[in-house]
Amino acid sequence: MTSPTSPSPHPARYAWFVVALLFPVALLNYLDRQMLATMKASIVGDIPSIASQADWGQILACFKWTYAVLSPFGGYIADRFSRRIVIGASLFVWSAVTWYTGHATSFHEMMVARALMGISEAFYIPTALALIAEFHTGFTRSRAVGLHQTGIYVGQILGGFAGYVADSPEHGWRWAFSTCGMIGVIYALPLLAFLRNPPAAAVEPAVGHGGAHSDAPGVFRGLLTNRNFILLVFYFTLPAIAGWVVRDWMPAILKEKFHLGQGKAGVNAILYVQIASMIGAVVGGALADRWMRTTSRGRIFTSAIGMVMFLPALFSVGNAGTLTMAVAGLVVFGLGWGFFDCNNMPILCQIARPQWRATGYGIMNLVSISCGGFGDIAFGALRDRHVPLNLIFGVFAGVALLSVVIVLMIKPQEERSSA
């Protein structure tokens, strides 16, 4: 029997197998988030105590704030203990909470369910991306992260079709959550059986700022006194506010603006942008890995290109007079998001020590998702006050432009090729 940390006889092949194992977990993690947004009308109709847009914004924000606050803790635990066990436990808890969500009957129960979901998911993404980065120590890192992120986009695509399930008399929104919870429990068993931690020798030498402190004060001090890390936190946060609003509110926006059914609105809001994100993650990952062979700033330049794509995309979404124009803007946004998303952890790997990366990504999540939660509440309040969409998305475009400047200020270290 192979132990959880024993080396594979084919390390390069197993490194890609790790990505394949984690792909379904990423899918499930984001499936429930998108189902909630897509099935909003059915959930609100079934739970009268969700009485306003602001109430719905609080449900969305409750998940984000719990997820955000616990992300650094989840990352720190993953940096100190077995990443394999942390990922498996996260999936078990996710499954139970997803099942419970399908049985919630009030606004307060939905708030509790989303808070518990935030606890489970706070441990997954920082841990999974750090684990992938440890197995892919050279010029395959952006591609590996990009392929893992496509699991997120597939989950969001499937969640985009959830409106049809919610409208179905035979199924409904409660059936969807209960079924996904059971699927998660089943998949956790083969995941724990085949997933392994990398042997210590496989992790590349330390890079970045600070000493080798492993205690919590030393880790946080080392990260928070690192200029490049602080810039990366800002860069990771600003575009994500627009990303959360697009993910959480776009089905409802298209439904209202173009008088669509819940199912059609969900598909148009999610399908095309997530397919574009998948393409962007794969292409952006390959481009970044190739660019890294000639400059240590290859990942930064690739991510900046993605951010430039946000500008016309957000203007197009905000000013769309037709459904076709809105979808075209979402497609460009998705391409840019893929370029951005597949390079955040790889850039972090160039500026932080290996044993700090999950914690670092957790801190990035803390700031980014907290701001995303405020963004959800603010967007709901602005919609209640009938503020024009073109004004809101115009501000997002300005934020994207600022983000380009921020990422170009990061000074990464050289990265060696894996053996």
Decide: 228 and 299 in contact? Cβ < 8 Å. Answer: no
Which pLDDT score, from 0 to 100, does residue 18 have?
Answer: 94
Residue 204, domain member (yes or no) = no
d(CA 294, CA 415) in angstroms, rounded, equals: 11
Which has the closest alpha carbon to 330: 258, 402, 378? 258
Is the predicted pLDDT of residue 395 greater than 60, yes or no? yes
Q: How many residues does the chain have?
A: 419
Residue 41, domain member (yes or no) = yes
Structural domain harbouring 140: 17-199+213-408
d(CA 12, CA 110) in angstroms, rounded, equals: 43
d(CA 156, CA 33) in angstroms, rounded, equals: 8
List C-alpha distances in Å: 222 to 73, 74, 215, 217, 360.
16, 18, 11, 8, 10
Which one of 78-82, 166-170, 298-302 scores highest in mean pLDDT? 298-302
CATH code, domain carrying 346 = 1.20.1250.20
DSSP character for 202? Answer: G
Alpha helices, H only, 195-261:
216-224, 227-257
Is the predicted pLDDT of residue 224 greater than 60, yes or no? yes
d(CA 127, CA 219) in angstroms, rounded, equals: 16
Residue 205, domain member (yes or no) = no
Task: Give the residue-averaged pLDDT of 390-394.
Answer: 82
Packing angle, helices 107-122 and 124-135, rounded to 10: 20
Residue 223, domain member (yes or no) = yes
Alpha helices, H only, 81-106:
83-101
Q: Which of 17-21, 136-140, 226-230 comes out lowest in average pLDDT?
A: 136-140
pLDDT band for position 5 (cuts 50, 70, 90): low
d(CA 178, CA 97) in angstroms, rounded, equals: 9
Say which residue, 4 or 55, is predicted with more confidence: 55
On the 0-12 / 13-18 / 19+ scale of CB atoms within 10 A, 324 is exposed
CA 208 to chain CA mean position, Å: 24
In sign, the C-alpha dihedral spanning 271, 273, 276, 280 is negative
Which pLDDT score, from 0 to 100, does residue 27 have?
Answer: 92
Which pLDDT score, from 0 to 100, does residue 375 have?
Answer: 76
Please, what is the average pLDDT of the chain?
84
Q: What is the pLDDT of residues 67-97, one digit of tens each?
A: 888 989 888 888 888 889 999 989 988 898 9
Residue 138, domain member (yes or no) = yes
Structural domain total, the chain = 1
**Tokens, residue 129:** 């991306």
Please list, residue by residue across 338-377, b when 16 or more beta carbons sit within 10 angstroms of its beta carbon and e when fewer do.
bbbbbbbbbbbbbbbbbbbbbbbbbbbbbbbbbbbbbbbb
Residue 307, domain member (yes or no) = yes
Residue 229, domain member (yes or no) = yes
Which pLDDT score, from 0 to 100, does residue 306 have?
Answer: 93
Q: Where are the beta strands (DSSP E) in 70-136?
A: none
Is the predicted pLDDT of residue 201 greater than 50, yes or no? no
Task: Give the residue-averaged pLDDT of 6-18.
Answer: 74
d(CA 274, CA 272) in angstroms, rounded, equals: 5
pLDDT band for position 138 (cuts 50, 70, 90): confident
Q: Which amino acid is present at 379?
A: F
Which pLDDT score, from 0 to 100, does residue 231 have?
Answer: 95
**Percent of the chain clearing pLDDT 70 (strictly above):** 92
Residue 415, domain member (yes or no) = no
DSSP character for 295? Answer: -
